[in-house]
Amino acid sequence: MTESETGRVVEFAIGGMTCAACSARLEKVLNRQAGMQANVNLAAERARVRLSAAADEAAVVAAVAKAGFSAALVDGQTREREKAAKLLVYRSEIRRFWISVALTLPLVGQMFFMFGEHGHMNELPRWFQLALATPVQFWIGWRFYNGAFKSLRGGGANMDVLVALGTSMAWGFSTVVTLFGLDQHVYFEGGAAVITLVLLGKLLEARAKARTSEAIESLIRLQPKTARVERDGQWIDMPVEALMPGDVFLVRPGESVPVDGELIDGESSVNEAMLTGESMPVGKRAGDKVFAATANGQGAMRCRATGVGEHTLLAGIIRMVGEAQGSKAPVQRLADQISAVFVPTVCVIALLTFIGWWWTAGDFADALVNAVAVLVIACPCALGLATPTAIMVGTGQGARAGILVKNAEALERAEKITVLALDKTGTLTCGTPQVTDVVTYGLVRDEALSLAAALEENSEHPLARAIVSAAVSGVATVNRKKAANFKSLPGHGVEGEVDDRSLRLGSPSWLGLADDPAVAELQRAGKTVMVLAEGETTLALFAVADALRPSSRAAVQRLRERGIRVVMLTGDNAATAAAIAAEAGIAEFRAGVLPGDKAAAINELKSCGGLVAMVGDGINDAPALAAADVSFAIGAGSDAAVEAADLTLIRSDLMGVVDAIALSAATLGKIRQNLFFAFIYNVMGIPLAALGWLNPVVAGAAMAMSSVSVVSNSLLLKRWRSGR
């Protein structure tokens, strides 16, 4: 359950849905209720409902029950309960299927002997056929009658209506012929075979659908069950669920980190591939963050818990993947609209087929068989599974590659990006400025760094941190100094007294060196320059640069190869921006863009037409991310940026944007293929059945296999890998 500005969002596990018409009807029923806004996912068997003050969970359950389905609130144990329940149902269905096969095979087998010398004289006794077909029709096939009744009671019609109506017509006609000894062929084998084949299709479909949720299952399996926690100076093992923020826990070599935390003591390398997709271990030392389910290397780590339960990064990933898998892409709207009117339309076509054949050919039996074939071939299962199965597999593969998709709509739009705007610091660059050059005038390098670090000791500015970090590396040779009478002048620099010397450290323009050749040369190299001065005397120049990420240039090149226009937005001066843009291979950039102006820049790019995306990592990027058509947040960035973005890249790498666009193209490609196959199947199959060119048995087999083929095609997305 989550909170939103417009109400609570509650997730329910839905039971009893069999096709797209079911999910569409349930969604329609829920959206008609006061205070409810629902999204129903057939493949995931989930309903996400936004509730206002006028509705509650009980009202949702009641509305779902009235529509002919069951609903249960999703909680921490729901997935395990569902797995156990589905396993029992699956085993029961398998037993029923084999019983159905045993009863149907004699009926179907006799068809081969009927083509022999004595024709229909070789068929099984009709009373025996009736005895074999009846249990299949009303015991094995009871699920279709039950589903059809609930569907009609709820004001709609689904696949069960088609199967129940078609097979009942075949069984009823054959029973009348048998009871009254009429000189007509019977079609017991048709109804029984259709039910058996549909059941086979459902079993295969259930197996395939289970594989679409493997991504979430694999993430859940990563979570350790216990943790070694410090209590009163003793280490004890306790369930991970019992940990609280602030608890100190121990991760030994080879173990998985139980919760998110901060490393207190020890050094090690941690494999974070399950979160980032990167295979190389990440070195960890005191002060670094560790994340739940990541694998510790050779060293022991003593950590303090910072995020537990639903507040871990892994839990957030699982939650986001689940939400994305339950969302709908715009491309699905067409399928939903068609499914809503599909079944009634098919029933009309079947009726017209029956009337047309009986009127023109005068043969009631042929008219009935062709009408049954229309009903069977038209079952819209494949149509309903086309989009959600591809979305489920695609978002799952994305999660494994460190790409978190907030909703399916964003995944669809990503493929259509024409302009990509990106921030410089932390996106193109590493986000950790470092001192690259020290130019001194009358001082040794370490002395200059020591004086500058004394002035910047208490500052949190990135440039100040770079100065202090550079000085710390020389503490063995230079004594750390302290500043007195410290004063900060925002936009200019700092000043204070160090060793009785009045010093200033700040921008070249503030200290009158804006036109200095040495300063200009460093700035042309893409570096930010700070000047250390005593009175009017310049003591040193410090050049600070934020290094380009190793993969940024290759990522920009791949984006341009896709025909995407790349624009860099930065608050840096034009010289630094030009140098970084050139190094990254970016032809277009905008320098001196203030944080509040980035959203305006995005809107300006949108006004030129095309679909505009934004990549950012900081709080200052959040307005621009919200303004963009598609937004990417670097995972190491601020919570505000991650919240505003449509897609989150767990690894801080621009190549993740390339992978996300590639994933979007692959997923949308599968959706289009699935919809094409489903539409073509029904468009071609219904006329063939109406013209009498399809036997109901063949139609049943084709209908069952169509659903399996669509799901199997979606599963081919599992072959997608990042970096392609």
Catalytic residues: 423
Helical H runs in 493-573? 517-524, 552-561
Q: What whole-number distance in Å separates Cα of residue 523 and Cα of residue 509?
A: 13
Within 13 Å of residue 53, how many CA atoms lie on the same side as its CB?
Answer: 1
Burial class (CB in 10 A: 0-12, 13-18, 19+), 403: buried
**Per-residue CA distances from 15 to 44, 64, 71, 288, 405 (Å):** 11, 10, 6, 45, 26
Contacts of 39 (CB under 8 A, 6+ apart): 27, 47, 48, 49, 326, 327, 328
| Three-class SS state of 264 | strand
Q: What whole-number distance in Å separates Cα of residue 547 and Cα of residue 309?
A: 36
Q: What whole-number distance in Å separates Cα of residue 248 and Cα of residue 303?
A: 6
Q: Are strands 647-649 and 630-634 parallel, antiparallel or unpaired?
A: parallel
**Residue keyed to tokens 């919570």:** 639
| Residue ranges with strand state E in 188-275 | 226-231, 234-239, 248-251, 260-265, 268-271
Contacts of 64 (CB under 8 A, 6+ apart): 12, 14, 26, 29, 30, 47, 70, 71
End-to-end CA distance of the chain: 36
DSSP string, 589-603: EE-S--GGGHHHHHH
Q: Apex CA 717: angle with CA 711 and CA 722, to 5°?
A: 165
Give the DSSP letter of residue 240: G
The single-letter code of the amino acid at 552 is S
Structural contact between residues 320 and 406, judged by C-beta atoms closer than 8 angstroms: yes
- H helix or E strand, kind and range, residue 543: strand 537-545
Query: What would the two tokens of residue 275 be?
Result: 């979160």
Q: Is the dihedral of CA 583, 589, 594, 596 positive or negative?
A: negative
Q: Are strands 7-15 and 36-41 parallel, antiparallel or unpaired?
A: unpaired
Question: Taking the mean position of all CA atoms in its chain, how far away is CA 142?
Answer: 37
Give the DSSP letter of residue 138: I
Contacts of 624 (CB under 8 A, 6+ apart): 421, 569, 598, 599, 601, 602, 614, 616, 631
Query: What would the two tokens of residue 224 be?
Result: 């350790």
Burial class (CB in 10 A: 0-12, 13-18, 19+), 304: middle
Give the DSSP letter of residue 558: H
- H helix or E strand, kind and range, residue 657: helix 655-690
Query: What would the two tokens of residue 565 be?
Result: 């226009």
Q: What whole-number distance in Å separates Cα of residue 84 and Cα of residue 204?
A: 18
The single-letter code of the amino acid at 152 is L
